[in-house]
Amino acid sequence: MRLIVPLRGVVQGRGGLFVGSLIPCCIFYCLQLYLKRRSPPPPPDSDSPRTSSPSTASPVGLSPRAVPLTEPLVSQYYIGLERAKTDPYDRISNKDGIIQLGLAESTMCFDLLTRWMSDNLMDSLMMKINEGEFDIRRIAMYQPFEGLWELKVAFADFMSRIMGGNVYFDPSNMVIIAGGNPAIEVLAFSLVDHGNAILVPSPYYSGFDRDIKFRTGVELIPVHTRSSENFTVTVSALEQALNEASKRGRKVSAILFSNPSNPVGNIMSRETLHDILKFAQEKNIHIISDEIFAGSVYGDKEFVSMAEVANSSECDKSRVHIIYGLSKDFSLPGFRAAVIYSFHQDVVSAAKKLVRFSSVPVPVQRILVSLLSDTRFVEEYLAAHRERIRDKHVRFVDGLKRLGIPCAESGGGLYCWVDMSGLLTSYSEKGELDLFERLLSVAKINATPGTAFYCVEPGWFRCCFTALADEDIPMVMGRIKKLTEPSRS
């Protein structure tokens, strides 16, 4: 860049030599030097070698809303899962590895699923045309993002069977979505403004924080329950939490709960569900009922869907929204298939647009249409699933009882809510976290502490047992016994 000298004032002599020339020149030179320093360097000659210095380049920053997502998840739920991955137990290749009791998944009926898939998989994916050839267009071409109509019909019939045949589900009120996680997020996005809150009876599933808070900016407010009431939520507890939220300037827009409860496993009574619906109408808020464990019941207590209560109640049912999926009852978490069911047509319309970001692949939908429509197999599977989960639950709970460790009363889910307070070094959150670490390091077991579920009473742990083989249960009890013996000496 060349410096331009303003000599016109000197030649003409306006304002005198000092005022007319020196001062303007100084100002102009300073301006030229400033611009020279600010200008980018000239491009290198084409013949000269190019060098790069990525270490000195300025990194491109994330948006403010994405920055928190770069931080590691600090919940013991995720910490335990990651620790178990580093040293996983295997009956043959790693007998001393960490036994995973932190993940609610089931392998109990894989024999039935394997048989069905072997016999029906290809016919489910493709339909033969006149010449007997497969029609690839059925799975290769665009389909409605909100799900195939045939799958909605199949889901509606299946959900009615799961829930005792006492409620009819209208396929037109359904949106098919890739799992319960995005289903909860879509409902939170559709029902709750950024900065507003949802009441959640606690202890509650740790994943709700991840599923809802990451992108919606919605706050979750725990509604604490106690072991003296078997961790069952009451309307008075909801009222108190709502009032406290109002004092903090937080507007509550919805109530979210899982039924059967995760992690406790208790089942809400018809009366409790009706009281919650009545409370929601009085406060003009929505209800999100996560019923993903509806078919995993094993006790004597009846499971009642909020849809059934809404249909039989005089309350406004348009505020009721239900989530269901196949990851638990049908042991198919890898299929990523779930349902948003809402009586509110605007919510259904909004969900249909949002689901394009989390739609279920068409080949998976085609398989599920055939699977859920096979009523004979469905009845066989559900009967076996309930019988096997009941048997596994009895074996696991009895093993803990022999160690002097009680469990909360439960009737559903793939887990037990275990009272290990007798093993705490101190009755506090610190004592619970110390026990969590001893379970991982000494007993080589990943059981999720109640702290991760916002439980206010120290010493409770969720233990998922439906991925264990029968012969693994005595091993689990033997490992826990390592911790019980020193505490009693």
For the chain, the 3-state helix, strand and coil shares in percent, each to the nearest 5, are: 50, 15, 40
Residue whose pair of structure tokens reads 């489910």 in the numeric block: 124
In 3D space, the residue among 222, 132, 279, 235 whose CA is nearest the CA of residue 450 turns out to be: 222
Q: Which of 290, 298, 340, 444 is catalytic?
A: 290
Q: Which of 292, 322, 389, 405 is catalytic?
A: 292
Strand partners of residue 321: 288, 342
The whole-angstrom separation of Cα 187 and Cα 262 is 19
What Å distances lie between residue 379 and 152, 373, 388, CA to CA? 19, 11, 14
Q: Which of 205, 298, 381, 454 is catalytic?
A: 205
Active site residue 480: no
The whole-angstrom separation of Cα 182 and Cα 212 is 9
The whole-angstrom separation of Cα 292 and Cα 164 is 15
Tell me the CB-side half-sphere exposure of residue 21, using CA atoms within 13 A.
12
What Å distances lie between residue 484 and 17, 399, 442, CA to CA? 98, 13, 12
Contact of 418 with 407, CB cutoff 8 Å: yes
Active site residue 392: no
Active site residue 328: yes
Report residue 245 as tokens.
């939220």
Active site residue 290: yes
Q: Which of 152, 328, 392, 444 is catalytic?
A: 328
Beta strands 286-290 and 320-325 are parallel
Active site residues: 205, 290, 292, 328
